[in-house]
Structure 1
Amino acid sequence: MKQTTLKHEFTIEGIGLHTGQKISMTVHPAFADSGICFRRSDVASEYTRVTPYAVTSTMLATTIKCGEHSVSTIEHIMSALYG
């Protein structure tokens, strides 16, 4: 599969789809072969690498989990990053 990375970081702000709360997300460039990782800034959490093994639910949204914290509705940003 062809790999690409971002040239610059960017930030998205808006309203959370399921929570209705204001959110902010910053996307950073990464080194080759590092994959896509998420890290929540509202809790002390590790990076969660996107793999099939990290998926814990696909009911109405894709949810990934590492440790006790999860990130939901990642399919939209994943689709946008794919192009």
Structure 2
Amino acid sequence: MAMIKMAKPVAWRVNTGEGWTLHHTLDDAKQAAGVTDQGAHEEWRWPDGPIQPLYTIDDAIEEALSMVSFALQRKNQENQTE
């Protein structure tokens, strides 16, 4: 099954400085990143920057699963050190 790339992002990945978060709207993403600049989401401006668009639902789902997996790994490591 082919992935369909949407004309507009379906989700936004944000580097908050403490880790990555996933947001459904650009306004939420900008608030999480502490960014007010209208061009913050443009790939040409910050390709590795705090706000990155995800254009396919598959990418958004993969990102969400990756975040959950990473959080579980961190929790397990913390439990082992106690």
The bucket for the TM-score relative to the shorter chain is under 0.3
- Looking at both structures, which has the greater relative contact order when contacts are Cα pairs under 8 Å and sequence separation is at least 6? 2
- Larger % of strand: which? 1
TM-score by length of 2: 0.27
- Larger % of helix: which? 2
